[in-house]
């Protein structure tokens, strides 16, 4: 599996590693990688408070934190360039 086209992986890994947070790639991202289809997002499940972690990742990576579901602790980090969502793959 070639993950080089995903420039945020190494920084995300570093940040989560520093905080000793286990993370798992899940969902459509895994499916798309396995069938060789380009994907514009990374789906992760983590063993930590996802809302706090997403806020920290957004700040550290220059992204924007988006709360999706507070009760179920689901959030998104969006990277923008000139007002448009920045794809995570190239």
Is the overall model pTM greater than 0.95, yes or no?
no
Identify whether the C-beta of residue 36 lies closer than 8 Å to the C-beta of residue 3. no
Number of folded domains in the chain?
A: 1
- pLDDT tens column, 54-84: 999 999 988 899 999 999 999 999 876 655 5
CATH number for the domain harbouring residue 29: 3.30.460.10
Answer yes or no: is 15 within a domain. Answer: yes
The whole domain housing 22 covers 9-85
Answer yes or no: is 90 within a domain. Answer: no
* DSSP state, residue 61: H
Mind giving me the DSSP string for 5-39?
T-TTHHHHHHHHHHTT--EEE-HHHHHHHHHT---
Mind giving me the DSSP string for 38-60?
--S---EEESS-HHHHHHHHHHH
Answer yes or no: is 4 within a domain. Answer: no
Share of the chain above pLDDT 70, in %: 80
> Out of 14-18, 23-27, 31-35, 77-81, which region has the weakest mean confidence (pLDDT)?
77-81
Answer yes or no: is 80 within a domain. Answer: yes
pLDDT, position 42: 83
């Amino acid at each position: 599996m070639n993950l080089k086209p995903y420039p945020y992986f190494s920084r995300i890994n570093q940040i989560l590693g520093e905080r000793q947070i286990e993370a798992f790639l899940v969902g459509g991202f895994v499916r798309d990688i396995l069938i060789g289809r380009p994907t514009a997002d990374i789906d992760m499940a983590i063993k930590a408070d996802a809302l706090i972690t997403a806020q920290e990742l957004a700040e550290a990576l220059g992204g924007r934190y988006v709360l999706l579901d507070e009760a179920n602790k689901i959030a998104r980090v969006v990277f923008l360039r000139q007002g448009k969502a920045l794809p995570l793959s190239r």
